[in-house]
Chains A and B, each alone.
Chain A
Amino acid sequence: MKNTENSKIVIEVKDLTIGYDDFVVLTDLNFSIRQGEIFIILGGSGCGKSTVLKHLIGLYDPLKGDILIKGKSMVDASETEKSALCREFGVLYQSGALFSSLTLEENIAVPLKEFTDLSDNVINSVAKLKLSLVGLKGYEKFFPSEISGGMKKRAGLARALALDPEILFFDEPSAGLDPISSAELDKLILELRDTLGCTMVIVTHELDSIFSIGDNVIILDKKIKGIIESGDPKYLKDNSKNEWVREFLNRSNMRG
């Protein structure tokens, strides 16, 4: 675990109320994420974890409140400003969301081609480097349909890292992976944080991952439509004042 208490705040969420049309999912969320931190968004099924993530990355507009990414508002940003803000972070989607008609190498080249004037040779070399960073050396010419689910996530991570972002968002990275692949992905996330110094925001259910990599956690609750608990997951496991939170976090022990 890394001490990030004195680091500067990179993401700040202020009085955020989110939902769809008239249906409010979560209300008045307030939290901040510091540089270099692995920040976990946790909660029961249907509590709005992924919806929070989609608001943080600017896919949806909130009903109320503001999201500041490195001090700049995501909510009030114009299309051009939003597009520039999006380049500050990378996102790994649950399914990997690789472009199925492109090879892994071409997938990683997409943002590089769009936002840089590098030559094709340089772009190809960078794409190869990014793939080897996530342990996919030799798979450059493979299409997404030719690799396994775990490899797709790694490739998705390589693409998210393409423009060397300072912040990385993960939507349920362990979903659909066996325990070994899941642990390997956790290890990779830690390595990337330590080598690249990225801030990681992870939405997950996987309690083992939370305790092994999480620096800070917020736990969302469907009933109160907000944050029921926040802090260091290891501390909260035994010391949370909320019984449901303790029970939730201690489930990992039951699996032995």
Chain B
Amino acid sequence: MKLEIQNSELMLYDFSGKGMSFIEMQKCYDDIQRAVTKSSAKSLSFNLDNIESTNYSFLAFIISIGELCQAKKVRIAFTNIKDEKFSDELKNIGFDLSGNYKAESFREEKYFSLVQNMDKTVISFFENFKKFIGFLGEVIESVFYYIIHPRKIDIKEITYYMDKSGADAIPIVFLICFLVGLILAFQGIVQMAKFGLSVYVADLVALGMIREMGPLMVAVICIGRAGSAYAAELGTMNSAEEIDAMVTMGLKPARSLVLPKIIALSFVVPMLVMIGDLAGVLGGMAISLPMGDFTLIQYWNRTVASVIPANLLESLIKGFIFAIIIAIVGCYRGFEADKDAKGVGKATTSSVVTSIVFVILADFFVTITLPQLLGLFGISY
């Protein structure tokens, strides 16, 4: 390529006949950019007499020059075009006869307007809500079906998920809850020691773990392990047409795919919560004994004195409710997943986020209402 400046006009000519590679293109572009910036040229003449065929790098080069000239307000004139097709291509990519280049002719920008899209957002929210209610209805119908036909319950499937979502989670639940108990005790003992009440750290850890942190930490672990796995599993089944196959076989996917998971998780999560509570108390003990001025027996006695059966009941109820939320949300997100790889990933992520939100909301309501509810049954709290 050669570049000359004559009477405030940039002359480009002597291109190689077979277009150019991307590397050559970059070099030529740099030369032209320098010339356009430094000179006061108002037009650029492109002599294409050597060009017999074009490749994509040459078209990319011309588009880049077009964008450069548009920005610098330099007109472009193509001369000696031999190929008619090439002339048409130039029009297609945005050059007109008067030497102007309009990139916007083939690049449409999409503007997002919150107000314009409000209607769609509201409609899709209610549509999703309707779908979710429908799904919930199917699940409830399945519960009644299994109450009427208990022999149809697939015990093998339930035990499989109990094993995967429950037994396999014991080590991680123990570790996490042990550490949370330890952190809770460490934070508490420093403050309580100031008032000479360091032995009461046992109350703090026991009540904190059993009433709140135990169920919550187990729920978070199960959301990550079980809920997301359910969403991914059902999402993949959905994309592989397995769920369609079930529907056309006259089977109810909610019955055979969702209910075993809900039953399995609602059994194992309360058990995991008990393990987590115990691990938390042990964790608290592990840090309090070396730091505090009390014995193991004193610590244990304080723990036993502070916890009443209703606290353990609260822990179990929370575990049970969280399990149902995690299983339902995970399965629903899996069913609603788009039938592609991206859809499965999205379903997994949204199952985790939605589960966390609902679990915390449920935790709030249970914590607030449970003492009153238990009071109705004559259980003091």
Contacts and interface: CB of A to CB of B under 8 A. Distances in A.
B245 A91 contact: yes
Contacts of B240: 95, 97, 100
A152 to B, nearest CB: 11
Interface stretch (B35-43, B248-256, B261-269, B305-313): B248-256
A97 B249 contact: no
A94 B248 CA distance: 14
Interface string A86-123: 11010101110111100000000011001100000000
B360 interface: no
Classify the secondary structure of B's interface with A.
Answer: helix
A111 B249 CA distance: 7
Interface in B217-257: 236-237, 240-242, 244-245, 247-252, 256
For the complex of A and B, list the 10 residue pairs with the smallest distance between their C-beta atoms, beginning with the closest.
Answer: A86-B250, A97-B245, A97-B241, A83-B250, A93-B241, A91-B248, A87-B250, A57-B248, A111-B249, A97-B242
A100 B251 contact: no
Contacts of A115: 250
Interface of B: 152, 236-237, 240-242, 244-245, 247-252, 256
Contacts of B251: 110-111, 114
A95 B241 contact: yes
A75 to B, nearest CB: 15
A84 interface: yes
Nearest to B157: A101
Contacts of B247: 58-59, 86
Nearest to B252: A83
10 contacts: A54-B244, A57-B248, A83-B252, A86-B247, A91-B249, A97-B245, A99-B242, A100-B240, A111-B250, A114-B152
Contacts of A59: 244, 247-248
A84 B250 CA distance: 7
B250 A98 contact: no
A59 B251 CA distance: 13
Contacts of A94: 241
**Interface centre among A54, A98, A99, by most B CB within 10 Å?**
A99
Contacts of B242: 97-100
Given A91-B245, A91-B249, 13 more contacts: A58-B248, A59-B248, A86-B248, A86-B250, A87-B250, A95-B240, A95-B241, A97-B241, A97-B242, A97-B245, A100-B237, A111-B249, A114-B251
Nearest to A58: B248
A228 B376 CA distance: 72
B135 to A, nearest CB: 14
Nearest to A99: B242
B241 A86 contact: no
A86 B249 contact: yes
A93 B250 contact: no
